[in-house]
A and B are shown apart, each in its own frame.
Chain A
Amino acid sequence: MSEITVNDKYDAVIVGAGAAGLSAALAISHSTQFERLREQGKEPRILVLCKLQALRSHTGSAEGGIAASLGNVEHDDWHWHYYDTVKGGDWLVDQDAARILAEEAPRTVISLEHDGVAFSRTQDGHIAQRKFGGHTADFGRKPVRRAAYAADRIGHQILYALWQQCVHAGIEFAEEWYVTDLVVETGPASLGTKIKNGIANAAEDIANHAVDVTDEPGVQGIVALDTRSGTIHSIVTNNVLLATGGAGRLFHTTSNSWDLTGDGMALALKAGLQLEDIEFMQFHPTGLGHTGILLSEAARGEGGVLRNAEGEAFMERYAPEHRDLAARDVVSRSIMAEIDAGRGIPDPLDPTGPKDCVWLDMTGIDAGRMNTALPQVFETIRRYAGLDPTVQWIAVKPTAHYTMGGIPITTEGHVYRWTKGQRKEVKGLYAAGECSCVSVHGANRLGGNSLLDACLFGERAGLSIAQAVFSRKNTTESSDDERLCEANNLACERVAMKRLQDMKALLRSDTVCTPSHASSPSTTNSDAAQTDISRAEIRTGAVTASTDSTADNAGHTEREDNPYVLLQQLGTIMDEALAVRCDGDGIQSALDQIENDLAPRSEDLIAHDSGASFNQELTAIWELRNLITMAKAMLNASSSRHESRGAFHRNDFTGRDDDGFLAHSMIDQNGSISWQPVHIVDMPPKQRVY
């Protein structure tokens, strides 16, 4: 294992390579500010850093569509989209943000088309659009075809087109790098939260070096693990965009990929910042029974119908107007109500199990149409349920799908702290996409709005960064800049050293030997083993056996805990406590289990292998700790909201309470909560019925 190897400097670092991160990168690169800087010969450096390889981001899983009032197949109006978004979010939506979302949506979609997205087309060659839950014409009067789609692979299409344009723009990527720390000097306003590990010390160092940065505290850089080489890096930068996606892996039944562990949100919490409305988690109504794999809303958009055990199309009772295409939370709760009333069905793969599913009947969809419009849905059902949806009903259940809340940002992408009734921006810190909360989704996101949010507000954040980089490059004297960099460098390095110690401890290599010979104790043994088997190896071209050192094996059996087991237990606890609905007792019980059991066990974890390169268990430990941080924030926020709104439903407070809770919860990692008023501009709260 090597020591910290690189102290690189960038003008901006983007964490995450999904729709939000890539949109931001492109916006920065194409901005007029960057073009001018290039003309001046001051080529700015930006870096996109992602914990997966590029093109593996979860954006690629989005199936149904991206909403925009293009009006390509029938008349549409962005005001209707604006209204639907606010209503869908149960009036917890900041209307200034939702207005931007709806008004700018057509431009965003067309820009994606220019980037190369292979949208499905109308006969006359325009971008095709389909119905999606909650999207209506005439302010709720009737469903409207607003979701632009590409068969049922819109996310894949967008992810690829954006990445392709990033290749065109020559954007630099660091793939399979995992960000462990956000180095942010949160300033005098929040001295209380500054007392954590090296960051406070770093601030003192800055003071000692007599560099005047205290007037405007902000981002100093990040620390990241290059998982391939297994080395910790400190990267100095004044602008960081967090675009790390959601935290669906908090739950066991989830449509989210294995990597959605809320890392960006946890980084913000650990840096002393808050999360907004984090109690709002959307459960998609149609997860494939037992696996949680998503069946797109397009399945219902194309004519699929939910049925209970008696075969009744029950959504007619719950949402007479929009039935199966009512907003997702309405459908999810309706499914749960049917299940609670004993009209659920067991998963056919587990006939003796609990009756926690309902049927999705797609037999009314023409087989040819199914093939052209829903190939992915068809394939998922065939592969993971072994069924043919053109003739068989499919068991579905709600699955954790989207994190509505997140890192609070302004409509320009700036992260802020809510303090003393004001938004106080953190200089140089930006966020976009699912990890952020600009509050366009409020208490419940409409289908088709997430890709839109990620691309649109990703781009806006990018433009803000471009402006910040530009003014910095043009106003800061280079000598000042160097001194500032030096200070930031120092701060980052301190955090990096601390992280390195942490890593060594997790890999058990700190006490064993010097870093450069981390594996030497086992060398003798394994060399012997290698010699023994070398004959077999030459003959077969493969080594047939070896072992870790015996010491490793002894340790192995002693420590049964590993992050994967704890991750599973955490998911089960969260499923029980918060999935679709919750109550005070359940929340408290989950908090107790996490505080008293999971959290301490997660702190005791040690990796079972001491090699640092691609040590997935090492990253999993950090991811698990992030999830635990997230889980506590989500549970605490849930426990503070004594009402039911949108996707958040409390069995002990079943009504919406606008007097008490028409406000955004702002929670920090200590669980202290404050409330920020909702921006109500055009539409006073109304009852939300479908």
Chain B
Amino acid sequence: MSAEGIHIHTRQSQTRVENEPAALNKASGTGTNSTPNPAEPTAAGLLTLRISRFAPHTGASQSQAQRSGSPFATRRSNPFASRRSPFAARTSTNRIHGRHWTQEYSLRVHGNETILDCLLEIQRHIDPTLAFRHSCGHGICGADAVTINGTAALLCTSSVAEYAVHPTGKRGTDASGFRRTATENDDGETPQANIRTPQDGCDIPDYGIIEIKPLAGFTVLRDLIVDTDRMMNQIRSLKPYLESAGHEDHVDKRMGEEHDMVEHLQRPEELERYERLTNCISCGICEASCPVYSGGEAFVGPAALITASRFINDSRDGQSTQRLQSIQTNDGINACQSIRACSRPCPQGIDVGEEIWRLVTEANERQ
């Protein structure tokens, strides 16, 4: 909390903690927020959320960009000022102009609360202007993907304990045990400096700082809200709909008379070939985790390929050959570098990298 730049807001949020502890305690003990599980070390503790914020300038971004003398015009030409890869020609042209800043919020939370719980708490009791997408709250709608401590994840399936510096953890290490040697905010302060030790005589855990940023590789629209149009258009571009193979082989013969009343037959083992792929929730986490995609290179993206694979492997679909052809392009499977950064973070447990590799293999075999 020592950085000059964040002085004002830091003070503001701290003031709230001091002045209204009752309100905060009450709020975190009610509602959708969980209370501590005695089986786990999840006592209420202090957490600081360091959140990347962005407010677009009013009016069209284009006109802002063209205005001479705008302090932001210079930023555009400076590749180091870009928060994205310097190769990201695409994103820098799409960039929306506005004000970026980071803001810290201190609140008292339990370790098994989700980060979404924390943000809702901030909206309610500290700062109602914070903007983030969220809907179902339990990991099925896919709306709330962000970057938490540098990793793409869903707000509602990420708990404080998972991401916080553990109260008993070694000082100077982060949740995964690595010690940071430099940070993006390396302007005199380090996150370690902000870890509060337990206060004298009491064992309130300190969850340290969790950093939340928008999903990498996507254009930021406001605070944690990003533009997902590119991803969705890419998914759409690969004909993401079942085109029946026809009814001769697949359809139950028992009621031949009325076509509408007959389902395709599909054995459980045929279903198993693609079932997991249907669980994709279009959250964009695989895309953000993919250095090729989030680096801004021409790549249709892992999410679109997973959707394509879902239909290629569906025994009911009659277009698998065409579908395979349509992804054998330079911005299709050929753009994948088999880095497999996309696999582990998938909230639906899809081994994205493996699936894309299978597509590559299958495409080669058919050639």
Q: Which residues of A come within 8 Å of B, CB atoms?
A: 1-2, 52-58, 60-61, 106-107, 110-111, 113-116, 118-127, 150-151, 153, 156-157, 160-161, 164-165, 167-168, 228, 252, 257-259, 290-293, 347-351, 353, 376, 379-380, 383-386, 516-519, 526-527, 530-531, 533-534, 536-548, 553, 562-565, 568, 571-572, 607-609, 611-617, 620
Contact = CB atoms under 8 A, between A and B. Distances in A.
A563 B128 contact: yes
Nearest to A260: B135
Nearest to B315: A125
A252 B32 CA distance: 8
Contacts of A53: 133, 143, 228, 232
A515 B295 CA distance: 37
Interface string B126-139: 01110111111111
B38 interface: yes
Contacts of A114: 242, 244, 263-264
Contacts of B228: 53
Interface stretch (B183-191, B198-206, B334-342): B183-191
A655 to B, nearest CB: 35
A151 B275 contact: yes
Contact of B12 (A52, A168, A353, A553): A553
B58 A386 contact: no
B102 A543 contact: yes
A537 B81 contact: yes
A637 B85 CA distance: 58
Given A110-B260, A544-B3, 14 more contacts: A53-B143, A53-B228, A60-B140, A116-B242, A118-B278, A120-B271, A165-B242, A168-B241, A290-B35, A384-B34, A527-B71, A541-B80, A544-B102, A545-B5
A124 B134 contact: no
B187 to A, nearest CB: 5
B156 to A, nearest CB: 9
Contacts of A527: 71
A351 B157 contact: no
Contacts of A572: 30
Nearest to A543: B100
B225 A61 contact: no
B326 to A, nearest CB: 15
A353 B35 contact: yes
A546 B307 CA distance: 41
B101 A291 contact: no
Nearest to B116: A258
B142 A541 contact: no
Contacts of A151: 275
B266 A125 contact: yes
B147 interface: no
A534 B236 CA distance: 40
Contacts of B221: 228, 613-614
B112 interface: yes
A351 B38 contact: yes
A150 B131 CA distance: 34
Given A164-B240, A252-B31, A614-B225, A533 B5 contact: yes
B39 interface: yes
B175 interface: no
A61 B263 contact: no
A664 B146 CA distance: 46
Interface of B: 3-9, 12, 30-32, 34-40, 52, 55-59, 71-72, 75, 78, 80-83, 99-103, 112, 120, 123-125, 127-129, 131-143, 157, 184-187, 221-223, 225, 228, 232, 236, 239-242, 244, 252, 260-268, 270-271, 274-275, 278-279, 281-282, 314, 316
A160 B282 CA distance: 10
A61 B141 contact: yes
Contacts of A607: 128-129
Contacts of A228: 221
B99 A536 contact: no
A383 B81 contact: no
A488 B68 CA distance: 43
Contact of A126 (B6, B78, B252, B260): B252
B141 A545 contact: no
Contact of A386 (B40, B83, B131, B225): B40
Contacts of B264: 113-114
A672 B9 CA distance: 49
Contacts of B184: 540-542
Contacts of B270: 121, 125
B265 A118 contact: no
A572 to B, nearest CB: 8
Contact of B35 (A115, A122, A350, A564): A350
B245 to A, nearest CB: 12
Nearest to B310: A118
Contacts of A531: 71
14 contacts: A2-B59, A55-B141, A55-B142, A106-B261, A107-B260, A121-B268, A122-B268, A125-B268, A228-B221, A258-B134, A385-B37, A545-B101, A571-B31, A614-B221
The 9 closest A-B pairs by CB, nearest first: A545-B5, A116-B242, A125-B265, A546-B101, A544-B5, A614-B222, A562-B128, A164-B241, A609-B129
Contact of A349 (B12, B34, B132): B34
Contact of B6 (A293, A348, A544): A544
B124 A564 contact: yes
Contacts of B72: 530
A60 B241 contact: no
A110 B39 contact: no
Contacts of A252: 31
Contact of A545 (B9, B131, B135): B9
Among the interface residues B132, B141, B242, B266, which one has the most CB atoms of the partner chain A within 10 A?
B141
B105 to A, nearest CB: 13
B244 A257 contact: no
Given A544-B3, A545-B102, A530 B71 contact: yes
A530 B241 CA distance: 47
B37 A349 contact: yes
A106 B263 CA distance: 10
A542 B185 contact: yes
B3 A113 contact: no
A379 B266 CA distance: 27
A93 B57 CA distance: 53
A540 B186 contact: yes
A56 B141 contact: yes
Contacts of A543: 99-102
